[in-house]
Amino acid sequence: MRATLGETADRTPANLRRAAPATAITRPAARSIRDVADSAPQGDQSGPARPGILMGRAFGIPIYVSQTWFIVAIIITVMFEPQVGQHVQRPLSYLVALAYALLLYASVLLHEIGHSVVARAFGLPVRAITLHILGGVSEIEQEPHTPGREFLVAVAGPLLSLALGAGGYAALLLVPMPDVAVLLVQALTIANLLVGVFNLLPGLPLDGGRLVRAAVWKFTGRQRTATVAAGWAGRVVAVAVLVAGAALSATGGADRWLTVIWAALVASFIWVGAGEAIRVARIREHIPLLNARALARRAVQVPHDTPLAEAVRRAQEAGAGAIVVVGRDDDPVGIVSETAVIATPEHRRPWIDAASLTRALDPGMVLPADITGEELVAAINRAPASEYLLVEPTGELYGVLTAEDVTKSFARA
């Protein structure tokens, strides 16, 4: 027997069932709100948190700097200052060393802009560029549609870094500069060449891994197979970086422990990124199977001034898993938050209107009941929320889709 609102006999979530068309009040059959009444309230799902401090925009793309970047900037400044101090006195030597740290991350930013510009040229939206402790990342929202485009997006960043390194080397040969400027240009030249070469290492999440994926994708015709292969290559690269760091530290030197720590940090970044790429590839294989109708919860509609206790009673009676509040013209105006219902003690529910626990329906929260696959995922990404209203082509209410149920469907994949 299914547990519904007000019952305590069975609090285990029921399996989701495909919704069968019915009246506007009893749409899809799904689990009851009471099925999750004993679960912990979830955090706000209204949208993604900012990845750092917004520093500006390039080509319309927001540029963020993570708080961890400031730690690395200080470390770079302190470590580079002794070399600068051989040419200029303090405190100017610290300012030059800080300038090196800033220019180094400017080079990383140009590397990421290279990826982003090529991606946008292919019509791929870029959400943001973030600079962090280990470099930077371009948040490209969609995958390239062909191996050739994947190759070009991936190679753009390393090529730009190598070009900056080549430009620095040419400047050293052709342009007369004071000693401190020579030191600065030399350091930036070497750094850009290292960034370019390191990112070409053949494993995800590095750019070289994306080149491997493009090659395997072209050869096999299967993007998922290519991603998994490049992900495992990334794990091999991670182990190689760790071993190389240990080998370098064995040669001695005052910075040997820093070498080990840095190698371990980079190796862990690559290992985790490679594992995430493999996991996402498996999830993406499940995306075409997503069906809003199959995941929908039956919804009961109540007037905006209905007490919460009465709204819950109606949901229990209908075996519904969601409550939709309607206005005076009987049009839906919001969805009652399941988390808020769970958090409201039963003795208070008769004195609270259901509308007070309702999130207003933004345009992106109303989806067609027939939406599926990539289109469904894109709609959720465009308007992050905890619940979505599903409507028929005729405009009638079909049911409610929750982000939690979509996430669980991925977990079962």
Do residues 319 and 247 share a domain?
Answer: no
Do residues 276 and 311 share a domain?
Answer: no
pLDDT value for 17: 31
Average pLDDT, the chain: 84
**Domain presence at residue 319:** yes
Cα–Cα distances (Å) from 1 to 10, 24, 29, 35, 89, in that order, read 8, 24, 14, 12, 81
Do residues 72 and 115 share a domain?
Answer: yes
pLDDT value for 21: 33
Residues of the chain with pLDDT > 90, as a percent, come to 54
In this structure, what is the dihedral angle of CA atoms 381, 385, 387, 392, given to the nearest 10 degrees? -50
Q: Which carries the bigger pLDDT value, residue 398 or residue 330?
A: 398
pLDDT value for 50: 66
Is the pLDDT at 10 greater than 50? The verdict is no
**Domain presence at residue 347:** yes
Is the pLDDT at 165 greater than 80? The verdict is yes
**Domain presence at residue 393:** yes
**Domain presence at residue 143:** yes
pLDDT per residue as tens digits for the range 242-273? 998 888 877 766 567 778 888 898 899 999 99
- Residue 289: which pLDDT band, with cuts at 50, 70 and 90? confident
Q: Which of 262, 286, 310 delimits the end of a domain?
A: 286
Do residues 163 and 97 share a domain?
Answer: yes
- What range does the domain containing 232 cover? 206-286
Do residues 328 and 214 share a domain?
Answer: no
Q: What residue has token string 């405190």?
A: 91
pLDDT value for 253: 60
Do residues 268 and 181 share a domain?
Answer: no
- Residue 16: which pLDDT band, with cuts at 50, 70 and 90? very low
Q: Which of 173, 200, 227 delimits the end of a domain?
A: 200
**Domain presence at residue 4:** no
CATH of the domain at 368: 3.10.580.10
* Phi/psi at 325 (5° precision): -90, 135
**Domain presence at residue 58:** no
pLDDT value for 141: 85
pLDDT value for 262: 83
Do residues 273 and 219 share a domain?
Answer: yes
Q: Which of 231, 256, 286 delimits the end of a domain?
A: 286
395 exposure class (CB count in 10 Å sphere: 0-12, 13-18, 19+): exposed
Do residues 222 and 342 share a domain?
Answer: no
**What radius of gyration, in Å, describes the C-alpha atoms of the chain?**
27
Q: At residue 327, what is the residue type?
A: G
**Domain presence at residue 77:** yes
Do residues 311 and 282 share a domain?
Answer: no
Do residues 72 and 194 share a domain?
Answer: yes
- Residue 12: which pLDDT band, with cuts at 50, 70 and 90? very low
Nearest Cα residue to 409 out of 275, 277, 268, 294: 294
- Looking at the structure of the chain, the number of domains it has is 3
- Which of 146-150, 266-270, 301-305, 347-351 ranks highest by mean pLDDT? 146-150
- Residue 212: which pLDDT band, with cuts at 50, 70 and 90? very high
Is the pLDDT at 413 greater than 60? The verdict is no
Do residues 196 and 231 share a domain?
Answer: no
**Domain presence at residue 23:** no
Residues of the chain with pLDDT > 70, as a percent, come to 86
Do residues 221 and 318 share a domain?
Answer: no
